[in-house]
Amino acid sequence: MMKKILVPTDFSVEARHAFEVALVIARKTGAAVKLLHVVETPYVPDFSVTGDTNTPDGMQQVYVLQLLDATKAQMKKLVDAVPHEGVNVLQEVDVDKPIFKIKRTIQEEAIDLVVMGSKGSSGLDEFLIGSNTEKVVRTADCPVLTVKSGQPPFDVQEIVVASDFKREAGQAMERFKAFQELFGARMHLVYINTPGAFESSGNLHRKLEEVAQKHGLQNFSINIYNDTIEEDGILHFAQDIRADLIMMATHGRTGLSHLLSGSIAEDLVNHTNIPVLTFHLK
């Protein structure tokens, strides 16, 4: 049961699209949507949003308070500009390091899903992408959905689940199954077979069938896709079936497991216009 969706925002076009996508999911689940903007200033250690300050320089306090007021006005403008009837939209502006505040909010408010905007390979946005999003994707205790702007309305019919179907066959698959059922989508399990980690198609089919049976999957397909590297294989397969969403599990700081080595989740976010849902395994 999804109760609260977090949307970190910097008021960019990409962040607005993330808000719109979160509203689509909220209407299907009854969840509230929380918009969060984090003001990062050089004076963070000496300042609280209540206006208390430990610094003798009152000008610093005035500067931050004015910045907060302007940011709250931007937040109201964003909420007013996006139709959100029927959804409980919460707003927060705080002074902190973005990644610290996002992680703390996820934990303290039992966030079920984070939706973040991405500019992709044309350039990494200072707040939404780069180190902050990478850290959220790798360490969040809940699924993180990364979306691009300029995409059609968020309607998920074809989902790719790219995996080695080992560790993530448990914890993550149940999360992915719930997302599939939410949209009534078809799930395409895919194993990318590469020259460096080749397995016979027969063995792989049996492995994927066992996963599907164990988790009671319905409306799914099993696919073995050959490519030179895993990232290219996931992208090419997703394009071939015209996927609306790619889902994968990450393994935190160590990157992704056998199949999803290195920083493939982050690479996919940057190199495809298809939304990517990642779930960090403990």
Q: What is the pLDDT of residues 215-229, one digit of tens each?
A: 999 999 999 999 998
Q: Say what the pTM is.
A: 0.86
In terms of CATH, what superfamily is 158-280?
Answer: HUPs (3.40.50.620)
Mean pLDDT of 239-258: 73
* Lowest-pLDDT choice from 6-15, 129-138, 143-152, 179-188: 129-138
pLDDT at position 237 is 96
Q: How far apart are the first and last CA of the chain?
A: 21
Same fold? 4-148, 158-280 = yes
Domain ranges of the chain: 4-148, 158-280
Instruction: Domain 4-148: give its CATH code.
Output: 3.40.50.620
- Sheet-wide strand order for 276-280: 89-95, 32-39, 4-8, 113-118, 144-148, 276-280, 245-250, 158-162, 186-193, 220-226
List the one residue out of 152, 204, 121, 143 whose CA is nearest residue 24: 152
Neighbours of 103 (CB within 10 A): 17
pLDDT at position 233 is 93
